[in-house]
Amino acid sequence: MSREVILEIQNLKKHFGGLKAVNDVSFKLFKGETLALIGPNGAGKTTLFNTICGVYKPTGGKVFYEGKEIQGLKAHEIARIGIVRTFQIAHPFRDITVLDNVVLALGLDDYKGLSRIFKLSHKKKNVDRAMELLEKVGIREQWNKKAGELSLGYMKRLGIARSLALNPGILMLDEPCAGLSFDATRAFMKLIEDLQKGGTSIIIIEHDMHVTMGVSERVVVLNYGEKIAEGNPYEVQRNPQVIEAYIGKEDESA
């Protein structure tokens, strides 16, 4: 059975002057798949995310989302068509409640211009949907707390709830477990598994190899802006080039 491709990256490049931060990277993401993007510090992972989601204009190459070319679109246009990077809206408004943060994000879903971004609409439909999303990410009981009072782990869950409010086709997570305790990381992995069961397509950058190997079906490895390996977590972990570039470096510094 061939799987449906939701995102295809073709020879994507992002150069900063002479620095080839992302160079000729190609890969596909299948619908419902979780793909991990790994590589040592400075490998170009975040730049690749920024180039896919329109924060940066690519120096070259193409991005297809559901078969349509989207490179060159602006970040908010790309978010609206369904590629949502949590960081874009992960920083909650700290002085309003958890619920209101999600209601605001629901408002973003149908915004037609900047002026409508801050429209808080407490229609029953929006409140119900927001509570559903809080339930989904496991922070329903915190609905009436100020977002600024949440722990980091809960704050990140709120970020996911706000991202899900945009009905993403693809969720892009840049090191979602950074700074989380062991327990919060485990809980976050469980949340990712729940999203997978719900059919969400995910690209995740994560330093924690345990998380990467635990949640992803496939792994793409970057080094100096180039893709050096791609495969299932088992294959990739045993790839000599990857060990050299990434795992080897970690061992040296341990």
Instruction: Write out the residues near Mg ion by the rule CB under 5 A.
Output: 45-46
**Considering the complex, what minimum distance in angstroms separates the CB of residue 39 from ligand ADP?**
6
Stretches 16-24, 135-143, 177-185, 207-215: which one binds ligand ADP (CB under 6 A)? Answer: 16-24
> 129 to 168, contacts with ligand ADP by CB under 6 A?
none
Amino acid at 103: V
Q: How many of the chain's residues bind ligand ADP (CB under 6 A)? A: 11
Angle at 42 (CA atoms; ends 238, 93), nearest 5 degrees = 110
Give dist(CA 50, CA 181) in Å, integer.
27
For residues 59 and 196, which CB has a smaller minimum distance to ligand ADP in the complex?
Answer: 59
Considering the complex, what minimum distance in angstroms separates the CB of residue 230 from Mg ion?
19
Length of the chain counted residue by residue: 254
Show the tokens assigned to 47: 């730049």
Least distance to ligand ADP from the beta carbon of 41, Å? 5
Interface residue with ligand ADP among 8, 13, 19, 136 (CB under 6 A) is: 19
Structure tokens at 11: 């020879």
The nearer residue to ligand ADP, 41 or 253, going by C-beta atoms, is 41
Q: Which is nearer to Mg ion, 21 or 150 (CB)?
A: 21
Q: Which member of 44, 82, 92, 138 binds ligand ADP (CB under 6 A)?
A: 44
3-class SS of residue 65: strand
Tell me whether residue 165 or residue 245 sits nearer to ligand ADP (CB atom). Answer: 245
127 versus 209: smaller Cβ distance to Mg ion? 209
Q: Per CB under 6 A, which region of 36-44, 112-120, 146-154, 243-251 contacts ligand ADP?
A: 36-44
Radius of gyration of the chain (CA): 18
DSSP characters for 174-223? Answer: ESTTTT--HHHHHHHHHHHHHHHHTT-EEEEE-S-HHHHHHH-SEEEEEE
Collapsing DSSP to helix, strand or coil, 229 comes out as strand
Nearer to Mg ion, 46 or 196 (CB): 46
Enumerate residues 6+ apart whose C-beta is below 8 A from 252.
Answer: none
Q: Does 18 bind ligand ADP (CB under 6 A)?
A: no
Q: 97: Cβ–Cβ under 8 A, 6 or more apart, which residues?
A: 143, 144, 145, 146, 147
Contacts with ligand ADP by CB under 6 A lie at: 16, 19, 21, 39, 41-47
